[in-house]
Copies of this chain bind each other. A is one copy, B any other.
């Protein structure tokens, strides 16, 4: 998988050409022929580096994940408040994708099919997924919220799922400045944090255990 310098340059040229065209005219409106022409290679060359058009979008997604790796520790250092920490993580993602929001539509189409190898839920994308889940683990563990031990184990995954839901809503949110998503985020994040606290009360043990056993049975 290690590429020569020349190959690496060709690959980057194709990816850049693709992202440029996707931004200009949209994913569906851009053909692989267009991309190859823009990068000044034959169509087959584009397929040599990216097995499908969707894989170009995934490559973009991977780029942002690499960026995030460096940023996450910084933004988590700012506060111990769980709500703020979660908000920081989600805001980062939204910011990273802000200019290419519609592009994620292509990923969303794949995303609903977990058997597709490029789905965020597929085995093949496990490394990226667990890295993302792990950032939620950091957000939880480093916070000053008191969370029952059993919940603490599965919470990061649940929060990641919550983030995916928010992202999905955002992708299709055509309200000005996507303010509907911001409202959704404002409203639900508050509820989520409150539910975490409520369900961590000893009184809530039975309901919490039931919920967690369902979560474990299906995931």
**A residues engaging B (CB < 8 A)?**
105, 108-109, 111-115, 168-169, 172, 174, 180, 183-184, 187-188, 190-191, 194, 207, 210-211, 213-214, 217-218
Contact = CB atoms under 8 A, between A and B. Distances in A.
Contact of A184 (B112, B113, B218): B218
Contacts of A113: 105, 108-109, 172
Nearest to A110: B109
Contacts of A213: 187
B115 A172 contact: yes
A183 B115 contact: no
Each complex incorporates copies of this chain amounting to: 2
Contact of A217 (B172, B187, B191, B194): B187
A150 to B, nearest CB: 16
Contacts of A217: 180, 183-184, 187
| Residue with the greatest number of chain B CB neighbours at <10 A, chosen from A169, A194, A207, A213 | A207
A169 B115 CA distance: 12
A187 B211 CA distance: 7
A190 B172 contact: no
Contact of A168 (B112, B115, B191): B112
A169 B214 contact: no
A157 to B, nearest CB: 15
B183 A218 contact: yes
28 contacts: A105-B113, A108-B112, A109-B109, A109-B112, A111-B112, A112-B112, A112-B168, A113-B172, A114-B172, A115-B172, A180-B218, A183-B214, A183-B218, A184-B214, A184-B217, A184-B218, A187-B210, A187-B211, A187-B213, A187-B214, A187-B217, A188-B214, A190-B210, A191-B207, A191-B210, A191-B211, A191-B214, A194-B207
